């Protein structure tokens, strides 16, 4: 869904549930269909405060962190 901004907030990030989904993986032996864990990230923001490029960069950075997460790393 689309997260709704509550004033005076200027942005909100919604995080969906992690689900198993089929996805195409590129391998050295060709493309294969595999089951991957996936989730949706949705960012809503006030364009008077946050530029679209900056908002997109933020979501991409969050996604990169989540995709590279090491479960064995201590917090």
Q: In this structure, is residue 3 part of a structural domain?
A: no
Q: HSE-up of 54 (CA within 13 Å, CB side)? A: 8
Cβ 24 vs Cβ 31: under 8 Å: yes
CA–CA gap between residue 46 and residue 11 (Å, rounded): 6
Number of domains making up the chain:
1
Q: In this structure, is residue 72 part of a structural domain?
A: no
Of the pLDDT bands very low, low, confident and very high (cuts 50, 70, 90), residue 36 is very high
Domain range spanning residue 24?
11-67
Residue 74 has pLDDT above 90, yes or no: no
Residues annotated as catalytic are 47, 51
Residue 53 has pLDDT above 90, yes or no: yes
Q: In this structure, is residue 53 part of a structural domain?
A: yes
Q: In this structure, is residue 49 part of a structural domain?
A: yes
Q: In this structure, is residue 4 part of a structural domain?
A: no
CA–CA gap between residue 21 and residue 48 (Å, rounded): 36
Q: In this structure, is residue 6 part of a structural domain?
A: no
pLDDT at 69: 87
């Amino acid at each position: 869904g689309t997260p709704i901004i509550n004033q005076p907030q200027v942005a909100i990030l919604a995080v969906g549930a992690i689900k198993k989904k089929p996805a195409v993986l590129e391998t050295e032996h060709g493309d294969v269909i595999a089951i991957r864990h996936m989730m949706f990230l949705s960012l809503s923001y006030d364009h008077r405060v946050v530029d679209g490029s900056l908002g997109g960069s933020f979501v991409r950075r969050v996604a990169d962190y989540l995709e590279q997460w090491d479960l064995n790393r201590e917090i």
